[in-house]
Amino acid sequence: MLQLNYIRENRDTVIERLAVKNFKDVALVDEIISLDEQRRKIQNESDSIAAEANASAKQIGDLMRQGKKEEAEAIKAKSSGYKEKIKQLTEQLSEVEKQLNDKIVLLPNLPHTSVPKGLTAEDNEVVLTHGEIPTLSESKLPHWELLTKYDIVDLELGVKVTGAGFPVYKGKGARLQRALINFFLDEAAKAGYTEVQVPVVVNEASAFATGQLPDKEGQMYHVTNDDLYLIPTAEVPVTNLYRDVILKEEQFPVKHCAYTPCFRREAGSYGAHVRGLNRLHQFDKVEAVQIVHPDKSYEVLEEMSQYVQGLLQKLELPYRVLRLCGGDMSFTSALTYDMEVFSAAQERWLEVSSVSNFETFQSNRLKVRFRNAEGKMQLAHTLNGSALALPRIVAAILENNQSEKGIKIPAALVPYTGFEYID
């Protein structure tokens, strides 16, 4: 959530930066500023009357002690309306604050100045490309056919049990999943991340704090009887561990990783780009979360990007890094790098990770703060990144490493799988 004082003091800059995200509702920005002016006016009036009431009470007490009862009664009669007036102003203030809060949560985060303008993924900026794209034989198969050929993932069985987008992993497919999860967690530990195990359902306050509500309400599975939400990513519960927490500056950086299943209701479409493991409603992911000093957040973002790239290099997958344009960024992000691996059988790039800096957008909702060197309370910056999401990693490993002998497992995973080939 954007900070009110920044919006008030930097109206034109806010409108200019929001336009990069293709948000052009200037009227909403002005309405928020107007409501804030009303709020401050009412608060000032209430404070002024309260001060008068306190002064009158003190004066009445002094007069009574001096035996000047008539004068005291006169002042008491004059100040009798203070309490009712303060009550009225308090009610007005509560209503204006509610309207203000309802409006301000509709504003997305401001994009960083380095974010390119653009409307869709086609306008994203390629920062770098790494690795050689494998050359496969004419008999190459897309991963959804390899799943069946080697009997490692059963999509139809998942449909029977639950529905489309809920696969059943079997045999070496299940072991590959477990191997990737353990590999990612072990690598995160080496990089200084503390592992946590967190709930996979969260309450409304948690979903709001990290920006899933109200922006992504329709994308989450809602447990209506209990008013809980299945998490779309471990970012939500992990970041909320620090909701309403005041950190010490020496605690930075706070670094956590977590493995969880993730659940997304994303509306399905048809075609090869969503076949097989390309888009699922339930999938596994290891998430990395950092809470850092504001002066360090963009340095940390680059470090997190390098860390995820290191994982892809160890998995021997060709990849590229994109800086997302304004139109393709999330509601909450100030700057996002996407990592995509090349799927040789599908002959296209597949997104496997997003690494984002949210600056104070989440921490303002979370109220995660620290005292700076001057002793003043300040909002921390939050970041997260997929490290990594499994489905498309599995798809690329299967497709890129297929041969007549079977599917070769990347060397870094063999100690985890216990086998070198899926055959």
> Dihedral (C-alpha) 360, 7, 26, 19: value to the nearest 10 degrees?
-40
Distance, in Å, from the CA atom of 193 to the CA atom of 66, rounded to the nearest integer, reads 69
Closest listed residue to residue 302, CA positions, set 175, 112, 118: 112
Contact by Cβ (8 Å): 319, 341: yes
User: CA triplet 9, 14, 19: central angle to 5 degrees?
Assistant: 165
- The CATH code that applies to domain 121-422 is 3.30.930.10
Distance, in Å, from the CA atom of 159 to the CA atom of 155, rounded to the nearest integer, reads 6
Residue type, 45: E
Distance, in Å, from the CA atom of 127 to the CA atom of 319, rounded to the nearest integer, reads 11
pLDDT for the residue 222: 95
Beta bridge partners of 421: 408
Task: Give the side-chain half-sphere CA count within 13 A for 399.
Answer: 30
Distance, in Å, from the CA atom of 287 to the CA atom of 175, rounded to the nearest integer, reads 20
Instruction: With H, G, I as helix, E, B as strand and everything else as coil, classify residue 336.
Output: strand
pLDDT digits (tens, 9 = 90+) for 344-359: 999 999 999 999 999 9
pTM of the model: 0.92
Please state, as a whole number, how many other Cβ atoms lie within 10 Å of the Cβ of residue 349: 21
pLDDT for the residue 64: 85
Distance, in Å, from the CA atom of 364 to the CA atom of 244, rounded to the nearest integer, reads 10
Closest listed residue to residue 175, CA positions, set 340, 350, 407, 345: 407
Domain ranges in the chain are 4-104, 121-422
- How would you write the pLDDT of the chain (423 residues) with one tens digit per residue? 999 999 999 999 999 999 999 999 999 999 999 999 999 999 999 999 999 988 988 898 888 889 888 888 888 887 778 888 999 999 999 999 999 999 999 999 999 999 999 999 999 999 999 999 999 999 999 999 999 999 999 999 999 999 999 999 999 999 999 999 999 999 999 999 999 999 999 999 999 999 999 877 788 999 999 999 999 999 999 999 999 999 999 999 999 999 999 999 975 555 556 899 999 999 999 999 999 999 999 999 999 999 999 999 999 999 999 999 999 999 999 999 999 999 999 999 999 999 999 999 999 999 999 999 889 999 999 999 999 999 999 999 999 999 999 999 999 999 999 999 999
pLDDT for the residue 157: 97
Strands (E), 210-264: 222-223, 228-230, 246-247, 254-263
Q: Does domain 4-104 have CATH number 1.10.287.40?
A: yes
DSSP 8-state code for residue 151: T
- The sheet with strand 222-223 has its strands ordered as 201-203, 228-230, 222-223
